[in-house]
A = this chain, B = another copy of it.
Amino acid sequence: MTKDVKTREDALVEQFRRVPSVADLRHGALQVAIGDDAAVWRPRAAHETILTCDWFLEGTHFLVDRHPPESIGWKCLARAISDVAAMGAEPRCFLLSLALPAARTTDWLRKFLHGLKRASRALRCPIAGGDTTRRAEIVINVTVLGECKRRHAILRSGARPKDTIFVTGRLGEAEYGLRLLQRAPKLVDARDMRMRKHLFPEPRVAAGLWLSKHKFATAMIDLSDGLSTDLLRLCKASRVGARVQEALLPRVKIAAGDREKKFEPTQFALHGGDDYELLFTIAPRDVARIPKTIGGVTVTPIGEITSQRDIALEVEQGRAKILKNKGWDPF
């Protein structure tokens, strides 16, 4: 009888169980995961819960005829976890809402879950639950719960004039990958290293945790929509401005074979989205305490917070222009 009573939706939800869960990760906080009305999760004492949700939509955030399903599985979780990293918190579990065409419920779904499972393991974030339904196009929503010690979350609103602005990693690498993918005639090779950052971004969880543990950062945001958009968001929340030194930007390196394509590393670094690096600000007294790498990733000072309420880009010594917000905006 058991088999008969299962709806096809229930059968699909069963597949989620193969994503690492409680037992796999020896993670005692999930009391009940998939299979009940809701999940039951036990928070740590003296911690706060971090909550975020993120759309990942066919046509808007990925192209089903270009992006390998493994990349879509990895990235839908990684980008949601990046918001948790940007608070200086640790990811703890996630919920997956997946709507997809019946034709995608076999091979495509298997590869998608493979990528999701890899991200779940690598980022130590087990699945707690989800919802599935049918839809003409693939529509994904991921909710992540994270945790940090009470009053240790790093907000966007704490930056003060004279704070130094740092970023992790290199900027524009994901944009470079996206441009290559857009020129590809078909599904791209998931192993192409030039597209690695676009296909399999790595949220900077360890760097964020280090910063919240030491209470060094006055403000932090993740670079999801591009430096020009996200730095403005941080400045707006902190009621300050910024002056960025173009020469200091850690920029994407274009592979030799792609140099004739007129890619502009500086434009990619300023306006390219999807890098999921962290941007954070450090008060003058603490700047000397910031090492060259944090949690295995390089950190680079790129400018200073000002009281001007705009973003200036210093293109050469003493000459600056206003940096316009050209990052990603869905509307």
Contact = CB atoms under 8 A, between A and B. Distances in A.
Given A133-B60, A143-B143, A325-B7, A43 B40 contact: no
Contacts of A146: 38
B8 A57 contact: no
A314 interface: no
State the 8 A-B residue pairs at the shortest beta-carbon distance, nearest first.
A8-B331, A38-B52, A7-B329, A37-B86, A141-B141, A5-B232, A43-B43, A133-B330
Interface string A83-98: 1101101000101010
Nearest to A322: B1
Q: Give the number of copies in the complex.
A: 2
A229 B55 contact: no
A131 to B, nearest CB: 5
A139 interface: yes
A119 interface: no
Interface in A103-136: 105, 128-135
Interface of A: 1-2, 4-10, 12, 31-32, 35-43, 45, 47-55, 57, 60, 83-84, 86-87, 89, 93, 95, 97, 99, 102, 105, 128-135, 139, 141, 143, 145-146, 150, 153, 155-157, 220-222, 225, 229, 232-233, 235-237, 241, 309-310, 325, 327, 329-331
A153 B220 CA distance: 37
Nearest to A235: B5
A49 B41 contact: yes
12 contacts: A1-B309, A7-B329, A32-B155, A35-B237, A36-B156, A38-B84, A51-B95, A51-B143, A53-B143, A54-B131, A55-B97, A95-B143
A4 B325 CA distance: 9
A145 B40 CA distance: 10
B40 A50 contact: yes
Contact of A42 (B49, B54, B131, B155): B49
Contacts of A309: 1-2
Given A38-B50, A53-B95, A57-B139, 17 more contacts: A1-B309, A7-B229, A7-B327, A31-B48, A36-B155, A36-B156, A37-B52, A38-B83, A38-B89, A39-B51, A51-B129, A52-B129, A53-B143, A95-B143, A102-B331, A105-B331, A134-B331
A211 B8 CA distance: 31
Nearest to A46: B45
Contacts of A31: 48, 153
A132 B55 CA distance: 8
Given A45-B45, A229-B7, A99 B39 contact: no
Nearest to A44: B43
